[in-house]
Homo-oligomer: A and B are copies of this chain.
Amino acid sequence: MPATMRDVAARAGVSVKTVSNFFNGYPYMREETRARIGAAVEELDYRVNVSARSLRRGSSGMISLIVPELDQAYFAELAQEVIDAAAPLGLTVLVETTSYLRERELDALSGVHRQLIDGAIFDPLALGPDDAPDLARSLPLVIIGERQFEGLADHVLIADEEVARRVVEHLLEIGRRRILLLGAGSPGTHTAVLRRRGSVAALARAGLTPDEALFVEVDGWNRDAGARATARALESGLRFDAVFGFNDALALGAQWELLERGIAVPGDVAVAGVDDTRDARFAHPTLTTMSPGRAQIARLAVELLARRISEPTAPDGFVSVTADFELIVRDSTRSPASLASLDRRPPRQKDGLR
């Protein structure tokens, strides 16, 4: 029994249409009418019924964000950024979580909610080339990160190849030569392929021949997988003086495993990642990483999607924009010497006693 527009109209002594106008920013209205409606709304504690509005308008003001899981800092932070970017445009974000399952990615695109949402921002992890047709005819769509579907939807891209190249160059610059590439073994996503390619390019430029043994496979891009892969590498007797995790979670997992085994970071092994999640800043040592400009990505994605929604017919040809990136050098790749000299903190002291 919540109040309806009809109730408000009755109370304010106007027609339903006028109340509707009130809520839709229709400019031609007497100040007095406006005030009366405002009062009635207040008294009845009225709220527009979104379902009815959506039904009538044929659009809901709701977009979904399709990511594998919120347990990963990267996706959680991305979700927050997207929500924040969508709000000013009057868009509500429905976060859909897929557990890296192809079925669930497809379902998020064309399941029950397809009728509910106006469009989607999608970070595909499980879909492959075969699914392109499904993608194409689903709904207004912006794809983030993965570029294998370019031409089928708008994209916000990360310059995967350059990003990886820069990280590896940085590791080479600080004198490392045997770099474990976490995620480069039998890469599943296109992203992995590109980061691997960029890494190889950097090595080649430095005149180094890549050692295939250092291209390590991982079973997930999370900390567990990073730790496990690193453990395996160590136990197989592989020798390396740096780790490049294809994302922060992998790098942090590696770093954790190294430290657990008493291997010094960056003393014995330097570590770097990609994503600049908050976790990187609070690791110990703090983790060198590549910032992909997540806020920018979110903003671009939302804007692109909003445009695609309001322009019903695509003007043929989809847009791809690439986000800026920036290397964030932290302690995990600083030599102890430079570490000490760069440290702006008060002299280290034992404190806190027992």
Residues of A within 8 A of B (CB): 2, 45, 47-52, 54-55, 60, 69-71, 73, 76-77, 79-80, 83-84, 92-95, 97, 110-116, 176, 178, 223, 227, 234-235, 239-241, 252-253, 255-256, 258-263, 268-269, 278-279, 282-284, 345-346, 348-354
Contact = CB atoms under 8 A, between A and B. Distances in A.
Given A253-B282, A262-B350, A279-B279, 13 more contacts: A47-B111, A48-B112, A51-B115, A70-B77, A93-B95, A94-B94, A239-B353, A241-B354, A256-B282, A261-B345, A261-B351, A262-B349, A268-B351
A55 B178 CA distance: 62
A8 to B, nearest CB: 13
A47 B115 contact: yes
Contacts of A94: 92, 94
B48 A51 contact: no
Contacts of A252: 282
12 contacts: A48-B112, A50-B112, A50-B115, A84-B97, A234-B352, A240-B353, A241-B352, A261-B346, A261-B348, A263-B351, A268-B352, A269-B352
A256 B268 contact: no
Contact of A284 (B49, B260, B354): B260
Nearest to A79: B70
B353 A262 contact: no
Contacts of A262: 348-350
Contacts of A259: 284
A48 B234 contact: no
Nearest to A59: B51
A112 B260 contact: no
A93 B132 CA distance: 28
A223 B278 contact: yes
A13 B77 CA distance: 50
A352 B263 contact: yes
A263 B351 CA distance: 7
A113 B92 contact: yes
Contacts of A346: 235, 261
A334 to B, nearest CB: 13
A60 B113 CA distance: 12
A226 to B, nearest CB: 9
Contact of A353 (B93, B261, B268): B268
A71 B76 contact: yes
A261 B350 CA distance: 7
Nearest to A222: B278
Nearest to A82: B70
Contacts of A48: 112, 115
Nearest to A353: B239
A131 to B, nearest CB: 15
A162 B347 CA distance: 39
Contact of A239 (B50, B77, B110, B352): B352
Contacts of A268: 350-354
Nearest to A267: B354
Contacts of A50: 112-113, 115-116
Contact of A76 (B45, B52, B70, B269): B70
Contact of A282 (B51, B113, B223, B269): B223
A69 B80 contact: yes
Nearest first, the 3 closest Cβ-Cβ pairs linking A and B are A76-B76, A262-B348, A51-B54
